[in-house]
Amino acid sequence: MPSRRHAIAEDLRQQISSGHFKPGERLPSETQLANRYTVSTSTLRSALALLQGEGLVEKIHGNGNFVRRPLRRITYTGGAAAPAPWTAFSAPLRMTARTMNIEAPSHLTALLNVPPQSPLTEVLFATHEGKTPHSLAHIYVPLDRAPTTPPLAGRIAVSAAELCAPLSEVQERISARLPTQEEARTLRISPSLAVLSLTRVATDATGRVVEAALLVLPGDRADVLFTTLFATEERSSKE
C-alpha cells in the first residue's frame, strides 16, 4: 500500500517531469498544496521532503518551494589518468577561489603530517554553473612547500601540487554521507541529499605531504571516475 505522502510525491514528480511545473518555478504554497491533496500540512511537507532528498525541489524558508533546475552532471576524474583534477566542461562553469594563510588546525595535522599550528595556505574553492554551486573544495598546502607566487587561482589552485617537486603518490579516499548544515547552505542542497566526500593527499618523492584537498560533491550532480590502465605489450603506466 503506497502511503499518502509517497502518492503525493509521485504525483508531483510526474508534474515536474511532464513540465507542468517548470525548472526554477515556485510551487504553490504548502498550505495550498495540502488543500489540493486534502491532507494536513505535515503530510504534505513529508511528501516534499522526499523530493528534496532526490534533489528535485529546493525549499527556501520564507519564500517557497522551487523546482530545481536539472544540473549537468560533472565528473571528477581521479588517479593517474587525470592531467588536471577537474575536467573541463563544455558548459560555462564558473570557479571561485579564496586564499588565506592559517595555522594548521588539529584535525589537519595528522593528514598533512605537520606539527600543530604550522603555517598553511588554505584555498576555499567552489565551482558554479550559473548561480548554482556545483562543488566545494578546501585545499591545504604547507607553506614551506607552496609555490612562491601566490595568490593561487583557478585550476592552478587545485593542482598546486604539480608545481612542486615531482609527486610520488596520491591517495584519494572517498565516502558518502549527508552534508553538514554549512555545506548544505553553501551548496544550496537539502540536508537530506547525499554528498561524496573526497580526501586527496599528495606526497612527494621524499615522503612529505605536499597538498591535502577535501572535496564535497553533491550526489545528484557529481560523480567520481577512476580509470586504471593495465600494462599490455611494452606499455607502462601513463600520466
Q: Which residues bind DNA (CB under 7 A)?
A: 1, 3-5, 27, 29-32, 38-43, 45-46, 59-65
Q: Tell me if 56 sits within 8 A of 10, measured CB to CB.
A: no
Taking the complex as a whole, how short is the minimal distance between the CB of residue 20 and a copy of itself, in angstroms? 25
- Of 139 and 222, which has the nearer Cβ to a copy of itself? 222
Residue 45 near which of DNA, a copy of itself, none (CB within 5-8 Å, type-dependent)? DNA
Distance between CA atoms of residues 137 and 125, nearest Å: 5
Is 107 a binding residue for a copy of itself by CB under 8 A? The answer is no
Is 192 a binding residue for a copy of itself by CB under 8 A? The answer is yes
Stretch that binds a copy of itself, among 17-25, 61-69, 133-141, 213-221 (CB under 8 A): 213-221
Is 217 a binding residue for a copy of itself by CB under 8 A? The answer is yes
- Compute how many other C-beta atoms are within 10 angstroms of the C-beta atom of residue 195: 24
H-helix or E-strand containing 170? strand 167-177
- Of 90 and 234, which has the nearer Cβ to a copy of itself? 234
Q: Quick one: which of 42, 72, 41, 70 has its CA closest to 56?
A: 70
Distance between CA atoms of residues 26 and 68, nearest Å: 9
The three cell numbers of residue 114 are 605537520
Residue 32 near which of DNA, a copy of itself, none (CB within 5-8 Å, type-dependent)? DNA
The three cell numbers of residue 9 are 510525491
Give Cβ neighbours of residue 82 (< 8 Å, ≥ 6 apart): none
Stretch that binds a copy of itself, among 76-84, 87-95, 109-117, 143-151 (CB under 8 A): 76-84
CA 212 to chain centre: 16
Is 89 a binding residue for a copy of itself by CB under 8 A? The answer is no
Residue 29 near which of a copy of itself, DNA, none (CB within 5-8 Å, type-dependent)? DNA
